[in-house]
Amino acid sequence: MSDQSNLSNFGTGDPPQTDQYECEICGRSFDSSKGRGIHRGQSHTDGEMKQAMIEEIDRLHDMLGKTPSLRDMDQQGNFGSKTYQKKFGTWNNALRAADLSVNKQQKITKSDLVKELKRIAEKLERTPTSRDMAELGEYASSSYTNTFIME
């Protein structure tokens, strides 16, 4: 007994689609974001990286019409928030380097962070991961790190 419905999926002649990750500095393409990241770290100076990252903040600023948040960068940018924190120390330092005003300079309390963690945990009905917190939470993961680990 043969299943004819599966035969239509074969032989279309189209190669499978693969994601390409382009280096924002030199334009070289890679098959993985990890490969691109390794390339950026080995092939470009710290100054080149920071300049490309500032240009990405500017691009998002122009696109959004406002100072981008860490969440905006994680969701729509070409560099992740952890990369900004490694290169600039904090997201606000990166915004200052781009000559933009900082989004918030508020003192976040331990209580605020714990309440937010509990809120997300209840919503998900499990312990949230750092990715969950980045996607659903009000505060950046660096706020938790700086408050609970860097004390």
For residue 125, pLDDT over 90 is answered with yes
| pLDDT for residue 40 | 86
Q: What is the mean pLDDT of residues 110-130?
A: 91
For residue 68, pLDDT over 60 is answered with yes
Q: What is the mean pLDDT of residues 23-33?
A: 89
4-34: string of b/e by CB count within 10 Å (b at 16+)? eeeeeeeeeeeeeeeeebebbbeeeebeeee
Backbone torsions φ then ψ of 86, nearest 5 degrees: -70, -40
For residue 60, pLDDT over 90 is answered with yes
When pLDDT is cut at 50, 70 and 90, the band that residue 98 belongs to is very high
pTM score: 0.58
When pLDDT is cut at 50, 70 and 90, the band that residue 2 belongs to is very low
Taking the C-alpha atoms of residue 136 and residue 124, their distance in angstroms, rounded to an integer, is 10
| pLDDT for residue 57 | 95
For residue 11, pLDDT over 60 is answered with no
Q: What is the mean pLDDT of residues 120-149?
A: 84
When pLDDT is cut at 50, 70 and 90, the band that residue 18 belongs to is low
The one-letter amino acid at 44: H
